[in-house]
Structure 1
Amino acid sequence: MKFKLGDFVRFIDERLEGYVTKIIDSHTVGVTGDDDFEIPVLASKITLVQGEDADRREDSNLEGSSKIIEQAQTKGVFLAVVEDPKVKSVVHLHLVNDTDFQLLATLTTERQFKYKGEYAGIIAPKASVKLHSLSLSELDIWPKMTVRLLFHSSQNLKPLEPLVADFKFKAKDFASAKKQVAKLNQQGWVLQLDEPELAIDTEKLKESFYKPAVEKQNIEKPSKEVDLHIEKLRDDYQFISNGDILKIQMAHFRKTLDAAIVHKLQSIVFIHGVGNGTLRHEIHKTVSGHPQVQTYKDARKEKFGYGAAEVFLK
């Protein structure tokens, strides 16, 4: 049997079960259980647990030709990347069709000039379908992907030109906040495939050269305690390298410190955690030479231990 990422499986010879989180080769997969430990196992030694694959959809049934469309929706084809609700290390790529056209869609992947057809099918109007599943731990080796679409309708609608979209995901593509994907009732990262090309208004472009400087923005007053843990700052922290995490944390620290100075706060607490001490060291180094900082110390050891710094301002 051929298994897919996210399949719930049970070991034949042992009392173990879990989810497929990696396709190692044509004969071996990685299975992760409740202990979050991934075990390589032969595909012949596991079996699919029926009833766990909830991705069967009736959305792809063609709509009847008797429906009358008064105002056709011709734009709105999206690629949504959503986390598996049970296995966070696996994501699923869904094609969301918000148009009044039926879509004849294919997905092809390419790795080192080797091509593989991952999906071919029909998506009904106002429907969605899962195209492919991938492991987040292998993001750096995700293949290049190509979606090809044909637009079809039995109604009196002018046919649209075929659409071909190529994309290669990188960690920065997940830097934006997740959005609600209505068709899936889930949060995910969304990319519009049929987004209109940007039209440049030359008159407005010329006007922009003569506009006065933008007025100084209002700086929001920070709270007395600022948590710098990366999961508090970014939704996509699992995609970010350790080096970039430190840069994001320090940028937020400096911005908040500047805001505290503008609002003339007497002191502010930065929760940096213990970890390996790198963030704590960078914060101490910055405030020790800052002209607007009077002094600093470890904040409320009974509450934070050595995981927070209180900075006193002049």
Structure 2
Amino acid sequence: MNVAVGCKVRFLNDVGGGEVIRIIDKRTALVKTFDGFEMPALLSELVVVEPAADELLQKKTVQEKETAEANRKKKPKSEVEYLTDDSPEVADSSGDELSLDIAFVPSNISNLQQSTFDMYLVNDSTYRVFYVLSNVIDDNHTPISSGILQPDTKVLVKRLTPEDVSKLIIMNLQAIYHKNIPYKPFQPEFYDIELDPIKLYKRGNFKRNDFFDIDAYIISIASTKREAFIRHLTDKAIVEAIKQKEKPAPVKEVKKPNIETEEVDLHIHELIDNWKDLSPGEILKIQLARFETALEGGIKSTTTKRMVFIHGVGNGKLKYEITKLLSSKYPKLRYQDASFKEYGFGATMVFLK
């Protein structure tokens, strides 16, 4: 039996079911579960247990066609078509607040080792979010869930079993913020989530929150409040934090260093002590500040000819920002990957002279 809007369905490969409230595309439908949550599901994984009323379905189809035709006729050809998912006649609210989180909600908070974890995408923003969540294996992305998340809503995107949690899981979230009215644009997200099992087994990682009735482990993907705080970090404060980390090394006999090549380690634990409470954006800002300070010092030096900046591999964000800064602000400097034998893929060499 074909799946249509209004059908009562059961999930083929999971417990529970709900009512189909929208057909997203040829392969996917949006199901409102019996618990009241809205989640996308493959049509091939839905079993119809109660068909929709034919009269209601036909009426809805006719109304949709009439609305679409009316909108098409009254819209000027030069007008921009804003991306919408439903209720296009209702304008989105104003405001430029972003707050996008990944949340892990345990089924058994008292026994995390044996618990399953419901993974939610939480949009506490004034924006709609078009998202794609994927599993990452050897740089290949396999979609888990995708759709458009309305402001102030959340969606269950994956249920992690104890077997899932027993191994390191790498996922990637891509997200685009938009409205159906003129809006201030934000950079799209490309966020890698490396889910270490230890993090889900530590009770202290689960906190009280505004989104769920029980404690949850929440990872912040984007937040305008956090970014506003980062902007208030002055260059002076960053320099002072770096200075606190830099302490005189004990005097010992070492081989004569190569004074022509200076090595700078940009790993955050080498720059400041209290870094564990910093967000990824704050860490990146400190690392780039250290990079520029060291590079400017090397340029002024009369002996340093080359500098090796150790940035590690990670998700490639720091290396990308370094090369972008070199190309835009220091276009006359030549740079390349440092020796693979010594640094692997985790360092960049800059030629000063």
Q: Comparing both structures, which one devotes a greater share of its residues to helix?
A: 2
- State the TM bucket, normalised to the shorter chain: 0.3 to 0.5
Scaled by the length of structure 2, what TM-score is found? 0.40
Scaled by the length of structure 1, what TM-score is found? 0.44
